[in-house]
Structures are given as structure tokens and as C-alpha cells.
Amino acid sequence: MARSGAITPLVTTRKPPSLNAEPTSRKTKPLTGKDRSHLRAIGHSLDAVVHIGKTGISRGLLDEVARALEAHELIKVRLIRECPLEREVVAEQLSAGCGAEHIQTVGGVLLFYRARPKKPIIELPGAPPTPTKTGGKSKAKPQIHHAKKQHATSGKGRAAPRRPTNKGTRPSKSKGERAPARRRSE
């Protein structure tokens, strides 16, 4: 039952400027084999950040992939078994829709790369190094801040010591013999 005279406000969400317009072709140099190899090595330890299911590719999915590329530069996209599209079709549509470079497909996992226009995270091997504050070349290895699985540590960055196992501590039994009882130390 509608109330008379009640005005419901229209809720509009405002997209960032980069997502309002259709993606344009980026004027970047094509990736070399060495660049692709470097990106595949980095992407090996990444987890998929976008999953494509039975609804396929929509405008919302393209926006999400564009956001993920803006945040990470290098992302994995996983195709769920129920996805109606072929892997090659998905790779072409996402590349064209987001202005990203398709790097690799392994099974149902696609790897995409799009460099940030300002402050890139990943330095490619063939690219000139980014200038530092002093104006000299950066000799430090670039740090890539992607989510990786954390290992248990003892607090100082070293692996936690393993607990001893009981493997091989009991004497072997032959027919008719019993292993001697263990003594408890007090």
C-alpha cells in the first residue's frame, strides 16, 4: 500500500571516473616474452580475486575486474565449471573490456596484467627503472604487495621448530616377544 504524498529519494551510486567511460586503448608498449615470463612467475603464487560463474560476463563483472586491476595490476580470474563461455572468449572479452593484457591461461584460471599509469607496483625487466627521490637508478628489488599465504613463525620471522615424532623409537617386535615397557621420568 503506497502512502500518498510520500516521496522516495532516488539512490544513485557514483562510480570512480576511471569506470564511467568505456575503456580506451592504452598507449603502452607491447609486452615482450621476458616480461610475460616475469609476470607468470609473480602470478604463480597469487590467488584468484574474481570468479566467473554461470551468469558469464556482465558490466558489473567488468567493473570488478577493472577495480582489481587498478588495485593490484596483476590478477587471476577463475572460471567456475558452470560458466557457459569458453576460456578464449572470456580472455578476449575481459582484455577488450578492461584494457588489460591476457598473460596466461592454465586450466580454468586466467592471468591478466594492466600497468598503473601512476606509481606502478610491478617493474618489468625491460622497462626503465622508476626514478627515485634522489634522481638515481633504483638498485633495490621492487616489493610486490600481493596476498600470500602466511607460514607459522616463532615470532622472529623464522619457521617454528617442528615437534619430534615417535617414528622409529620403538624396538621392532619379533614373533613371541613383547616390547619392554617404557619408563616414565619424574
Q: Using alpha carbons, select from 125, 114, 133 the residue that is nearest to residue 32.
A: 125
What pLDDT does 152 receive? Answer: 55
What's the sign of the alpha-carbon dihedral 79, 81, 85, 86? positive
What pLDDT does 50 receive? Answer: 95
What pLDDT does 14 receive? Answer: 39
What pLDDT does 97 receive? Answer: 94
DSSP string, 116-161: -SSS-SPPPTTSPPPP-TTSS---SPPP-----PPPPB-SSSSBPP
Cell numbers standing for residue 137: 637508478
Residues 6+ away with beta carbon under 8 Å from 28? 115
Each residue's pLDDT expressed in tens, for the chain with a length of 186 residues: 444 555 444 333 434 334 443 444 445 678 899 999 999 999 999 999 999 999 999 999 999 999 999 999 999 999 999 999 999 999 999 999 999 999 999 999 999 999 988 888 898 887 766 665 555 555 555 555 555 555 555 555 566 666 666 665 655 555 666 666 677 776
pTM more than 0.85: no
Domains of the chain: 30-113 (3.30.110.60)
What pLDDT does 30 receive? Answer: 86
Q: Using alpha carbons, select from 51, 59, 150, 167 the residue that is nearest to residue 110.
A: 51
